[in-house]
Amino acid sequence: MLSTLANTHTERMAPIMYRAILNECSYSYNGLHTHRYASTSTMTKPETKNESLNKPETKFLFPDAIKPEELPKARNTRLVSMRDFKHMAEGKFLTKPMFKHPVWTSEEMEGIYYTHRKCKTLDDYITFYFMRVLRNSFDFCTGYLEPKDKQDQIRIAKSKRRMTREKWLTRFIVLESIAGIPGSVAGFLRHLQSIRLMRRDKAFIETLLDEAYNERMHLLTFMKLGKPGRFARLMLWFGQGIFANLFFLTYIIRPKICHRFVGYLEEEAVLTYTRCLQDMRMGLNPQLYHTGIPQIAKDYWHLTNKDTFYDMILYIRADEAKHREVNHTFANLKLRQDRNPFAKDVPNDPRPQPLSDTLKTHRGTGWDRKDLIL
């Protein structure tokens, strides 16, 4: 099955698929539960393109990972169903994106991997474990099983509890419907603060609203592919109402703790999309790989007709990694006096600084305040 799938891939996808098993899903997989929250220094950085392609024995390590005729019937979800192809078509008045998405290279996006910022303060521990409670509830509601290693991932893919295309879309839609709240709420509150105090905001508002817009584009893209049922919509209404108001009140009192929470939330988003990418690389979910791309996604991420669902998820994972970097950095700042370090490049200074339109200076655990020109 895998050899058949590999033959149908484009030339662009071939090196990615052959490299996938060898680079351990872009992060250390030597006991996911043991090392998952280790410091950045313990993470295994992904191999570069040249290193992986120069290996003489480049081949699938699991050639018999999936045989569809041997699979038991999956316990699928009823929360989200797949839409017909005709529903992916756009109307006559599709507007262009207000916030232009930067163009990132494949090497930059493939270089994204899971990192965890170690908890250092009491606020960090509170936000992290609150996020973990939400994550565990999220896993239960979407039928997600987190693999311990690669063999466990293959075992799950061959079982009734495997991640189907509908389950992945359920997970994406629920995730993105919540992820779009923090940026809009924080941007709105900083906007009110700016006009109330009659002073400039130092460019935080634009970055926060861009983040909210980006998350909404993720949701709109997945909504073109999946149709949430009544129970899913009801769950999202309650979840959004509770989370939005809680985030609103907390941001008024402790904005830094809110940004730290979003940073940890985006770490989990990067992990989720990395798992999805690995499933497609290993041939564990060819149906998901061959899912079409809506026009709204092509316009926003500058995708072509040759690009695949895999390419789109690469962009989305990179977006989440950027939000991870931004929010962890904001949580390290003195928000009442510092400027937004992502808003403007600092000329005539050799020190590396964060940038909003590139992944070249990306730091997954955020930038420390002492390293920034503020």
Q: Could you tell me the CATH number of the domain that includes residue 113? A: 1.20.1260.140
Is 55 domain-assigned?
no
- Say what the pLDDT of residue 256 is: 94
More confident position, 235 or 5:
235
| Residues in the chain, total | 374
Q: Does 332 reside within a domain?
A: yes
Could you tell me if residue 60 is inside a domain? no
pLDDT tens column, 231-260: 888 888 888 899 999 999 999 999 999 999
Instruction: Provide the domain count of the chain.
Output: 1
pLDDT attached to residue 189 = 96
Residue 320 annotated in ligand binding: yes
CA distance 86 to 196: 48
> Of 65-69, 105-109, 352-356, where does mean pLDDT reach its minimum?
65-69
Is 266 annotated to bind a ligand? Reply is yes
Is residue 233 situated within a structural domain?
A: yes
The CA distance from 202 to 28, in Å, is 38
Tokens in use for 140?
Answer: 């239960």
The whole-number average pLDDT for the span 305-328 is 95
Does residue 53 fall inside a structural domain?
no
Indicate whether 195 belongs to any domain. Answer: yes
pLDDT beyond 60 at 352: yes
pLDDT value of residue 204: 94
* Domain span holding position 22: 2-48+65-371
Ligand-binding site membership of 323 (annotated): yes
116 is in an annotated binding site: no
Instruction: Say if 343 falls within a structural domain.
Output: yes
- pTM, two decimals, is 0.79
Q: What is the pLDDT of residues 10-41, one digit of tens each?
A: 444 444 443 443 343 333 333 333 344 433 33
Is 218 labelled a binding residue?
yes
pLDDT at position 141: 79
**Percent of the chain topping pLDDT 70:** 77
Mean pLDDT of the chain: 79
| The pLDDT value given to residue 269 | 94
Q: What is the pLDDT of residues 40-97, one digit of tens each?
A: 333 334 433 333 323 323 333 334 446 655 667 777 667 776 776 666 666 666 777 7
315 assigned to some structural domain: yes
